[in-house]
Chains A and B, each alone.
Chain A
């Protein structure tokens, strides 16, 4: 609550890993009781994984925020330092994005033609596309975006 520290987000990631592992153990326990692995997730597994997902997202964006915005803001303009490595990383990521997008479309056509829906692969490819987009915006903000920290009066006339 004091500054934009990386400690809480790191703990959130550790806790998220713990919750996902607990969901896995719950699944193992249920499979042992039933004698087989059920198709559906239990209520407990869904709850553990939902909180795990929120903490994972919170931990990741918290660390990204610490990386991109720092622990404390200081008023003023901050200009990026030009560098070749981020450009190369950006080009590689854009190529990867193109390849993944093409593969995703091909996968949809395959599913439409055969009626076979490999959901895990569809989720993996679409999720990867979105994560690559996140990485590209992260690189842009870190190495190419002009940052500005401003101060504002408490009273304003917006929205009324």
Chain B
């Protein structure tokens, strides 16, 4: 059988060209694979969900007599199917895990300097993937059409709408009209969520992997000693394939355990949409933006060329826009002349490492600001705007200084000693 296929398709050629590709081994490389497998599980579970979901807000009557939107009713139906609730929960959890894993994967790239020549372009594709994953997750948030999802999505609608000059058009494209209210909103979000954005994600993931294969993976530093100038690794087939199967099985195993024990979004707990707005917060990956919106005073508003520049735009678009711009420019600012083959050690780059830790501190403090109202209700000091501003601005600064000083103290001396030893 193999011989028959080989004579026609040159399978041996394929084996030598593709399946013998060397994969360098380092545990941190698995963060990218966790992201990929989360996406695979999202697609697989998403196929099941689309077979049973109705993207409409027309009124339907449930067996218990309640009248609810069809989208909400179809999610109740999915939950009533054997294993249906677990599959929906697994889909929900995988979306969170994909974003968290992509974020940690990006941190690894930043900490090891893997964005440098020749991988600048693939780094930009990766940044685009992270952004697209967040947008895709957001478009799925409203689909169950329960009271919580509708209210949380409204925050995103407000941010999109606040963008000067193009906000109205952008909101129209994403939501198909006013949200909530427009009958086109759910069909529009549904088609974006299950078709256009996943197709774009697949194309970008394909490009990300193809560029990675062409440019070769960065390698752990020891490889320079063992096989200088070459790629040291295990063949794609069978060894790397077996490791990928193990990771995929671990992923499905652990995430199904979590999804079954902790149903991520039990819509019965929230109920169908009502005129009463529940106290909600957006998902954790938007909470830092929400936190900024909480602490930016409403007086920060001015007019520019006929458009209103308000707090929503400043917190929800300008600040993440600045961060995105820094991220996009990074590989063209922090450069090296020679080709980067081996991962850089974070301790050898105290400024970069400290800046990344400061960025983490900024995200954490901004996320903390997202709980401002809760702090105020509990009478906590953290409910004070001035305290939160101090934490959001001072926390990252302090983290940078502390991290830089510690790295210089512990690793600077080591470098000096090794350099003295060489001379």
A window 79-127: CB within 8 A of B:
107-109, 111-112, 115, 117, 119-124, 126-127
Contact B260 A123 (CB under 8 A): yes
Among all A-B residue pairs, the 8 with the closest Cβ atoms = A123-B260, A47-B284, A62-B27, A130-B253, A134-B249, A111-B82, A127-B257, A131-B253
A window 40-61: CB within 8 A of B:
40-41, 43-44, 46-47, 49-51, 53-58, 60-61
Determine if A145 is an interface residue (Cβ-Cβ < 8 Å). Answer: yes
- A2–B223 Cα gap in the complex (Å)? 9
B window 204-232: CB within 8 A of A:
210, 213-214, 216, 220-223, 226-227, 229-232
B window 226-240: CB within 8 A of A:
226-227, 229-235, 238-239
A window 16-61: CB within 8 A of B:
33, 38-41, 43-44, 46-47, 49-51, 53-58, 60-61
Contact B82 A73 (CB under 8 A): no
Number of interface residues of B (CB under 8 A): 90
Task: Give the chain B neighbours of A38 by CB distance below 8 A.
Answer: 269
- A17–B89 Cα gap in the complex (Å)? 21
Contact B284 A1 (CB under 8 A): no
- A134–B287 Cα gap in the complex (Å)? 35
Task: Give the chain B neighbours of A64 by CB distance below 8 A.
Answer: 243, 246, 250
Contact A152 B21 (CB under 8 A): yes
Determine if B375 is an interface residue (Cβ-Cβ < 8 Å). Answer: no
- A133–B344 Cα gap in the complex (Å)? 36
- A156–B247 Cα gap in the complex (Å)? 28
**Contact size range, A:** 35 or more
Instruction: Identify 17 new A-B residue pairs, CB closer than 8 A, beyond the known A51-B100, A54-B34, A64-B246.
Output: A1-B346, A3-B220, A47-B283, A53-B100, A54-B97, A54-B104, A61-B243, A108-B83, A117-B82, A122-B83, A123-B256, A123-B258, A127-B253, A127-B254, A128-B257, A151-B232, A156-B214
- A134–B253 Cα gap in the complex (Å)? 9
- A65–B232 Cα gap in the complex (Å)? 16
List the interface of chain A (C-beta within 8 A of B): 1-5, 8-9, 33, 38-41, 43-44, 46-47, 49-51, 53-58, 60-62, 64-66, 68-69, 72-75, 107-109, 111-112, 115, 117, 119-124, 126-131, 133-134, 137-138, 140-141, 145, 147-154, 156-160
**A-B CB contact pairs (8 Å), 16 listed:** A1-B111, A1-B220, A2-B345, A8-B27, A53-B97, A60-B254, A73-B226, A75-B227, A111-B83, A117-B80, A123-B261, A126-B256, A130-B256, A133-B249, A133-B253, A158-B213
